[in-house]
Amino acid sequence: MKVTLSIQRFNPERDKKPYRKEYEIDVPETFRILDCLDKVKWDIDGELAYRRSCSHGICGSDAMMLNGKNMLACQVLVKDFKKKYIKIDPIPSLPIIKDLVVNMDSFFKKYDVVKPYLIAKDQPPVKERLQSQEERALIDEAVNCILCGACSASCPSLWSNDSYLGPAALLKAYRFIFDSRDDAADERLNIIDTTDGLWRCHTIFNCVEVCPKDINITWHLSQLKKKCALREL
Ligand code: SF4
Ligand code: FES
């Protein structure tokens, strides 16, 4: 099957601004977009830069914009696209390092802000910290986040205000605030209960549309809003 990839290219050492380059390739319809990029890089243009690691939707490194929607290149097949002319761009709102590779420093700084690790007051038990099935169910979806950044890069609230923590960091806050084994819920609620934190989310749902792990991020943020509104200060 013939497919044309229109890829945004940019080499800051050479180019004043990004431009598009087209590549026509012949591939099986079961090829993933990541396989197509590999084919371009290995057979046609070795300079093409993009991130990838696991190739199986686990590492979150190959989020990019395909025909205007943020997706993982390793999770979508050529046959999933009606037209075989596919536009490929880096995920928006982050500085481009080269071609499809963006600088995710600001994304991970915001992730760090919410203390994305277990904080427990008591000493670790001999075996694991137990929780009931009901307690675990509260974080079942949130633990599936692979930090691909597709959600934050698709959020208009973040496009218009770079200080906003963004959906991925807030989802991580949920993951620990609602974890029965964690003792730092109040500490994290103080961090996110701000105008540039949780309350900058205007329930636009773009994040939910693009999450490759089908996490209903907006629902999780609404639970955080309820928790903030009901807590005693
Ligand atoms: S919530 Fe979904 S879209 Fe956002 S970083 Fe996690 S896996 Fe990616
Ligand atoms: S390469 Fe790891 S998620 Fe796609």
Query: pLDDT tens, 141-200?
Result: 999 999 999 999 999 999 999 999 999 999 999 999 999 999 999 999 999 999 999 999
Q: Residue 34: its pLDDT value, please?
A: 98
HEC assignment per residue over the chain: CEEEEEEEECCCCCCCCCEEEEEEEECCCCCEHHHHHHHHHHHHCCCCCCCCCCCCCCCCCCEEEECCEEEEHHHCEHHHCCCCEEEEECCCCCCEEECCEECCHHHHHHHHHCCCCCCCCCCCCCCCCCCCHHHHHCCCCHHHCCCCCCCHHHCHHHHHCCCCCCHHHHHHHHHHHCCCCCCCHHHHHHHHCCCCCHHHCCCCCHHHHHCCCCCCHHHHHHHHHHHHHHCCC
> Residue 134 C-alpha to ligand 2 middle, in angstroms?
31
Q: Is the CB of 170 under 6 A from ligand 2?
A: no
Ligand 2 atom with the shortest distance to the CA of 63: 4
- pLDDT surpasses 80 at 120: yes
Average pLDDT over residues 73-102: 97
Q: Residue 32: its pLDDT value, please?
A: 98
Measuring from atom 1 of ligand 2, which residue has the nearest CA?
55
The model's pTM is 0.95
Q: Residue 232: its pLDDT value, please?
A: 77
Measuring from atom 3 of ligand 2, which residue has the nearest CA?
57
Q: Which ligand is nearest to the CA of 142?
A: 1
Ligand 2 atom with the shortest distance to the CA of 72: 4
Q: Is the CB of 72 under 6 A from ligand 2?
A: yes
